[in-house]
Every structure is written in structure tokens, then in C-alpha cells.
Structure 1
Amino acid sequence: MSLVTTFTMSAVMAWTDKPVKMLVPAPAGGNIDVIGRLVAEQLSTDLGQPVVVENRPGAGGAIGVQALRAAPGDGQTIMMIASNVLTEIPHVLKGGFDPLKDVKAVGIVGRGNLVMIAAPNVPAKDFKGFVAYAKKNSGNLGFASYSPGTISHYAGMILNQKVGLDLQHVPFQGSPPALAQVMGGQIPVMFDGYATSRNLISTGKVQAYAVAAKNRLSQLPEVPTLIELGYPDLDFSNWMGVIVAASVSPELQEKIHKAVRNVALNPKFRGRMFATGFEGAEDWSLQQLNQAVKTEFDRNAAIVKQFNIQLNQ
């Protein structure tokens, strides 16, 4: 065993010698639940302790966050999230917590990127062709989102602004109903997470025009990014990671961070995550991770204000 591995495992073991509870703010079977269980399984192996997953869905993640904050600040309760719980949803749904003060991000394990997809009956085979088609039919086309006030919504609004389109927003509650409308040709286009649309792309049930990320997806190498196409503002993705209550001490946060980092760098874990449609994550320090939370939160707040996206009271 290498010196680095020995040090890493020692840091992991220093976190806890007791069972750990992992809260997941979503129902069983969804993407975040699947990733959470993969993380819990690897953490349990590394710690030599049970990591028990407890689903606490509802209120855009706020129910899970409130349970996290109510737990003792001893590091025995952690929470698996998609970053939208902290950086998007609080702008459109009051959850009773401050995502910049009441919780702390302690680890990132993967990233889910947005893909611009289109109905199979849209007579355009690439992004440039779609722009020409949309301008020819200005005011008569829409774009779906998997929820109002999310990056799926933001990306469509910014696409309109930057490209000069007039696509009407059609919100849904989740990807499946939105994808059904796109597949059926009722709505021509949407921005969806690759993890939920990948099977439709691979089977030709939808077209993939572009990726709203800094880099091309390793699983869609032929599809360009919108940055490549000249739209640097269309860079949206959600990362998957672990948070704790702010009451957990900085020293314990650092130990948990090292344990989660060990999971994220594990080749077996990365392979299993890749198989679900997610990409590997940045190897961020605690400071970098929490700065990313603030940067994304502030960016999304500006988008909500710019496009007058109404808050749910």
C-alpha cells in the first residue's frame, strides 16, 4: 500500500468509528438516490461502519436539510445532494434555511451536465440548423424545462436572449413528463440532464444538439459545447456531493471531506457513476467547494432577477 493511500485511509478512519446516517432529499430510485447509495456503499467499505441511507424527499430538498440541521453536530449525519438544492431551488421556493450559512459542502463526487435535445421531428440536424428553424418560426415554438426556476429553465431563457430567439417556456414537474412531450414532438426542444436523456439520445428518440458545459461529454464526444458554438454564458451543470450542518466543527468537516474525496477518486466508484450517465468531478478543497456554492448561488440569483422568475411563496 502506498504512502498516499495509507495517509488517506488513516484520515478516513479518523472521521468516525460509529454508524453514519446519510440523508437523501429525494425518493428512492431517482438519480440522486442512486448516486447516494453508491457513495454510502463505498464509504461503508472505507470506514468499516454501516452508512444507512434515509430518504427525506419534499420541498425541493428543504425537508432533508431541516432534518440534517436538527441532528447533533457530531458528523454522524450527512446528506447527499445535487447542487441545485443549494444554488437554484432556494431562489424559487422558500425552504426555511440559508444555503450559504446553515449548511456546509464537504465533498463533490460527480457532475451531471445539461444537454440541449430536440424532438425527432424537428427538421434540423444540428444547433445552427435549429436556430434557423426557430427564427423562421419565431413566436410559435416552445422549450420544455423539468421544473421552473432550475438550470433547465435558465438555459432556455439565456438561449433566447443570446441567440435572439422567442421560444416560450413550458415547465414540467420532472424530466419524464417533459421528455415525453419532446419525444412526441409536441415541444421541439429542452435542456435536460444527460443522465435522464442518454438512453433517448442513444436510441435516436431525441436529437442532441449541444452540451451546456465547459467541455464535451466523454459519452457524447461528437456533440459540441455551446461555448464552442460561441455562447459562453450557456455553461450549466449540477454537481453531486455531500453536505453537513454548519454546526459540525471545521476539523470534522475536513475529515469528512477527505473521506468523501477518497470515494470520488476510487476507480470502481467512478466507473459505476459513469455508467449512470454522470461525469467525474473536480478535485476541490473545502474552500474551493464552498466558494463554488456561493458563485453558483449568486449567478442564479442574478438570472432569477434578470428574467423576473417569480418566487413561490
Structure 2
Amino acid sequence: MVTPFERRSVLRLACGAALAPLLGPVWAQSIPRGGPILILVGYPAGGGTDVMARLIADRLKDRLGTQVLVENKAGAGGALAGAALRDAPADGSVIMYAPSSATIAQKAMKKSMPFDLDKDLATIALVGTVCSVFAVSPTLGVRSLPEYVEWLRRNPARASFGTSAIGSANHFFGMELGRAIGIPLEPVGYKGAAPLVADLSAGHAPAGTGGLTDYLAHHRNDKLRIIAISAPKRAAAAPELPSIAELGHPNLAKESFYGFYASSQMSPALVEAWNRELRAVVEEPDMRQRLTGLGLEVQTSTPQEFAERQARDYLAFVASMKAAGIEPE
């Protein structure tokens, strides 16, 4: 049950994210062209978030006629980039590209954060959604969820799965799937997707969860086998993968999001200017195709629509935390 306190928190999250730009300086009206523009990313270079940000940055450079750089602020589950954005100039020269795991998940999981999502950041535009996947080691010899359930019944001592982040949407997907099939699965934390993929490939881990953007290429290279995705329908990037809804568990269907953020001190006019430019870039057919190929379901929005999506997903994340018996740290 959602408490009155949580409802108030969600309302502040939605209203604060959408209306925070109103507090910014009214003189900022257009995106600056004189110097480099920075896109902050809270993860190391080479990861899915970084790759997408660099694709978008390269197209923005051509569109705006100015240098657009990606700056990696890795650490604290992606939250260090949010702190850097809070302290950055609000003149439009610095924005952030982040997944929900670095924003609403951090807000739900942490008693204290390097930044205040409600007060310090403003939503610019949703870029798309991504689902979690449940994958098995190819050494198991199973190719579907029903086959995996049968394998678990024969191997109850190996009813576990790896996750690259305890307390993430990927972690919760594995826990909820175990409850749905009637075989509780024990999560095993890993420090990132790379070591988990290596253990899945070698058979040291029987199963694992992660983001489609991180696992799809490894699935196609036979290093692991994805047997379910957390989306309500099949992903455009991988139509061969079954959705959890069609496998008989529609209540487990959940997706995370990626989006762009500004400092809460940025003016409304400048937030709108960035929204127009980012949507124009992301909605280009070639860019849409490239992002889809990385596993992203492209979906853009207004700043207000993004704020409302963020608030709804925060509530769902808190509910998943409670179901998993996890408390904020």
C-alpha cells in the first residue's frame, strides 16, 4: 500500500521536475553556440548509456554547429552526474543523459543522495524505454522459460541468478519471476554486466538479469541465452525474444527509461529549446534505427510528460522494493 507520505513525495517529484525550470533565470532563451556543450553521463565510457549519448552528441554537433562533448562522471550508481549537473551553469551549456536507474532508483534506494531529484533537476525529454531480460547460461541446454523451470526442478540447488546491481529493476525482475514460477530465485550481486556475462558464458552462473541494451549482442553471439524480456510486448530491436506478458505473466511487465535532464535553474524557454532540438535528433529515421539496434524503444516526450512518467515509475519501483523486502540504505 502506498502511504500518504509516498504520494506526497511522488507529487513533489512530478511537479518539481516539470516546474523547477520556472525558478531559473528568465534571460536564457536559446542554446549557446559559442563554446562546447557538455552531455554528462554517470557511467564509464563504452557502456550502453555512454554509447547512446555519443550517438546523439554527434548528431547535435551537426545540427547546432557547435562542439558537443560527452563527459563521463562515473560513480555512485550513476548519481555523480546528477550532482555535477546541479552545480553546472544553467545557461544551456550542460545537460545530462541518464537512465531511471540513476534517478528514481537512486531516490528510492538511498536515504541520502549526491543531489535532490525533486529540487535540483528538471526533465527535458524522454528518449526511450528499455526492458530487463532474464538470461540463462548456454551450458544449461535450455531455450525457453518452460524448459528453464523444468531444469530448476531437476537442479534445485542452482536456483539463483546473477544481477549487475542489487536493488535495481533488473534485480527485482529476477525476484518477481521466481515468485511467478513458484521457485524462489536467490540473487547474486556482480560488479557490472561484464563479469556476469563472462560467468554466464562459462557456466559459472546458471542465470542472470540485465538490460536488453547490455545483453542483446551477447545473446546473438551465443554467450548467453535470453529467455524472457520484461516488456509488455516484443521489442523492436529483438522481435525473436518472447515478452513476459506472452509467457503468461503480464503483471511482471515493466520498462525502465532514458532521458535528458537540465539543472532546475535553467529557464523554461531554454528547457523548451533543448526539448525541440533533442526530439528532432532522436526522431530522425537513421537515429531511431541506430538507437533501436542498441535495444532502446524510442519514445520522446514533452518535459511535462517526462516528469509524469518519472513520477509513475517511482511509485512502481518503490512497490517492487517492498515486494523484495528491500529497505533504503
The TM-score, its normalising length taken from structure 1, stands at: 0.88
Q: Which of residues 265, 270, 276 in structure 2 aligns to 1:247? A: 265
* Larger mean Cα displacement after TM superposition, 256-265 or 229-238: 229-238
Unmatched tracts of structure 1, length 5 or more: 1-12
Corresponding residue SS for 2:98? strand
Work out the CA distance in 1 between the residues paired with 2:128 and 2:59.
14
Amino acid corresponding to residue 309 of structure 1 in structure 2? I
For residues 152-191 of structure 1, what are the alpha-carbon distances to aligned partners after superposition, in whole Å with 9 as ceiling and x for unaligned? Answer: 1010111122221121111111111111122222221112
> Which of these residues, 81, 85, 88, is aligned with residue 68 of structure 1?
85
- Offset of residue 222 of structure 1: 2.3
Offset of residue 78 of structure 1: 0.5
In the alignment, structure 1 residue 28 sits paired with structure 2 residue 28: no
Partner of 1:146: 164
- What amino acid is aligned across from residue 32 of structure 2 in structure 1? T
CA distance in 2, matches of 1:92, 1:223: 30
| 2:35 paired with 1:15 | no
Answer 1 or 2: which has greater helix percent. 2
Q: Distance in 2 between matches of 1:46 and 1:282?
A: 20
Moved more, 301-310 or 289-298: 301-310
Contact 1:145–1:152 (CA under 8 A) maintained in structure 2: yes
Instruction: Give yes or no for the alignment of 1:171 onto 2:189.
Output: yes
Report the AA paired with residue 137 of structure 1.
Answer: N
Between stretches 127-136 and 172-181, larger displacement belongs to 127-136
- SS of 1:162's equivalent in the other structure is helix
- Give the conservation status (yes or no) of the 8 Å contact 2:39–2:71: yes
Deviation at 1:216, TM superposition (A): 0.7
Q: Partners of 2:170 and 2:184 in 1: how far apart?
A: 16
> Could you tell me which of 200, 222, 226 is aligned with 2:240?
222
Task: Verify the 8 A CA contact 1:116 1:192 in the aligned structure 2.
Answer: yes
Is 1:155 the equivalent of 2:173? yes
Q: Is the deviation greater in 192-201 or in 42-51?
A: 192-201
132-141 or 71-80, which deviates more: 132-141
Q: Counterpart of 1:55 in structure 2: which amino acid? A: N
| Corresponding residue number in structure 1 for 2:218 | 200
Q: CA deviation at 1:203?
A: 2.5
- For residues 108-154 of structure 1, what are the alpha-carbon distances to aligned partners after superposition, in whole Å with 9 as ceiling and x for unaligned? 33433222211112243211121232244345420111110111101
Higher mean C-alpha displacement, 133-142 vs 250-259: 133-142
Taking a change above 3 Å as real, the CA distance of residues 140 and 279 of structure 1, as seen in their structure-2 partners, is: closer
Please name the residue that 2:18 is paired with. none
2:318 matched to 1:296?
no
143-152 vs 210-219, greater mean Cα deviation? 210-219
- Structure 2 counterpart of 1:52, from 50, 69, 83: 69
Distance 2:205 2:237 in 1: 25
- Describe how 1:67-216 pairs up with structure 2 within 5 A: 67-93=84-110, 94-138=112-156, 140-216=158-234
Residue in 2 aligned with 1:10?
none
Any idea what SS the aligned residue of 1:230 has? coil
Displacement of 1:69 = 0.7
Contact persistence 1:16–1:47 (CA under 8 A):
no
Structure 2 stretches of 5 or more lacking a match? 1-28
Q: What per-residue deviation string (whole Å, max 9, x for no partner) do you get for residues 203-229 of structure 1?
A: 222222111112212332222100111
- C-alpha separation in 2, matches of 1:302 and 1:219: 28
Alpha-carbon offset, residue 23 of structure 1? 1.4
**Equivalent position of 1:4 in the other structure:** none
**1:65, distance to aligned residue in structure 2 (A):** 1.1
Identity %: 28
Write the distance in 2 (CA, Å) between the matches of 1:37 and 1:219: 19
Contact 1:114–1:237, Cα closer than 8 Å, also in 2: yes
- Residues paired across the two proteins, number: 299
Distance 1:134 1:101 in 2: 46
1:176 & 1:286 partners in 2: Cα distance? 34
CA RMSD of aligned residues (A): 2.0
